[in-house]
Amino acid sequence: MFLRYRTGKSAKARADVLSKELTKANKFHNEQTNINGYTTMQKARVAAEDREERVYLINQVLVEDSHFNFSKMHLIMHWADQISYYGSLPQFLTEVCETSHKAFQQAYRCSNHVDSISQIIKNYSRSHNLAVRELEIAA
């Protein structure tokens, strides 16, 4: 059922063509049942069987042409191999972004929240200059 939602346009078009062909065949079949004198119950049973077969065939066409070979899903297939071979994948870690963002968060907290961008820049440049000066003194 899940595969049906990842079908391409060509698979949907083929399923529509198949549906139309089955509808035409069903009309012909219904005309034959009227000629042969089927009872109402037999006609209903034949119609239900036709409906089930139609749904089954259309789903088969959709499932056969369904695939999950698009870039996002394809990359996931390689993660287990890469993690076991190279170790953890640092490009997917958020620690680096969080660490560099922490200084700006602290600077925003120190500001009075009015025209905060200029205050953040001043605070950050002061702390950065102080850190550079401490490194120079230590060297």
pLDDT, one tens digit per residue, over 19-59 is 888 877 776 666 666 667 778 888 788 788 888 888 888 88
- Tally DSSP H helices, then E strands, for the chain: 5, 0
What is the pLDDT, as a whole number, of residue 5? Answer: 54
Give 107: exposed, middle or buried? Use CB within 10 Å, 0-12, 13-18, 19+: buried
| Whether 58 contacts 15, CB under 8 Å | yes
For the CA atoms of the chain, what is the radius of gyration? 33
Output 53 or 11, whichever has higher pLDDT: 53
Does residue 132 carry a pLDDT above 90? yes
pLDDT at residue 84 is higher than 50: yes
pTM over 0.75: no
67 versus 132: which is more confidently predicted?
132
Contact partners, residue 34, CB within 8 Å, separation at least 6: 43
